Structure 1
Amino acid sequence: MQLTAPADHRTGIRDADGMAVASFVLGLLGLLVLNVFLGPVAIVLAALALRRRTARRGRAWLGLGLGVADLLVLVAFMQADNTVSWSF
């Protein structure tokens, strides 16, 4: 007697693929707005997608790079303004 359905391997891969795409989109969006929040989220999603062996490894690596770039942009603007935050 089986109480739960067996785990579908494809579901895990689709979730990882979705995380890779989400990290890319959030990293790209973070270059413009809310980079203090979106950068770390993009980094975490990309790392999880790579750890779960996504088929979209390129997007995950781009999301990781963009997440780091978000934080670097934040630091650069903070240094230029001598403040803790920045705006356009």
Structure 2
Amino acid sequence: MELTATSTSRTPARDADGMAVASFVLGLIGILALNIVLGPTAIALAAVALWRGTQRRGRALLGLGLGVADLAVLVVAMQLDHTVSWSF
């Protein structure tokens, strides 16, 4: 029995769907923790997912918005604490 390349590899659309979900999850987590890392990562994953034509366009757009919100929260918190990081 011979396996073909299509049966063992992931399709670009499926990868894009995974990136859309990952950007949403990372953006959501980034609101509370590690927003300096997770925000840009969520933005990048959402942009790539949208560029590849994901079926989960809404989830990718939410990930993009949450990534931007992560960075906005970081900027506001930095301004309030007058430091590069923030704490509770």
User: Please, what TM-score do these two structures have when normalized by structure 2?
Assistant: 0.89
1:75, distance to aligned residue in structure 2 (A): 0.2
Tell me what 1:75 maps to. Answer: 75
For the aligned residue pairs, the C-alpha RMSD in angstroms reads: 1.8
Q: What is the distance in 1 between the residues matched to 2:49 and 2:75? A: 26
- Give per-residue Cα distances to partners, 1:7-64, cap 9 Å, x unaligned: x9x7110000000000000000000100000000000000000000000000000000
Unaligned residue ranges in structure 2 (runs of 5+): none
Tell me what 2:34 maps to. Answer: 34
Q: What is the distance in 2 between the residues matched to 1:73 and 1:84? A: 12
Q: Is 2:84 the partner of 1:84?
A: yes
Unaligned residue ranges in structure 1 (runs of 5+): none
Q: What is the distance in 2 between the residues matched to 1:64 and 1:18? A: 14
User: SS where residue 47 of structure 1 aligns?
Assistant: helix
User: Please, what TM-score do these two structures have when normalized by structure 1?
Assistant: 0.89
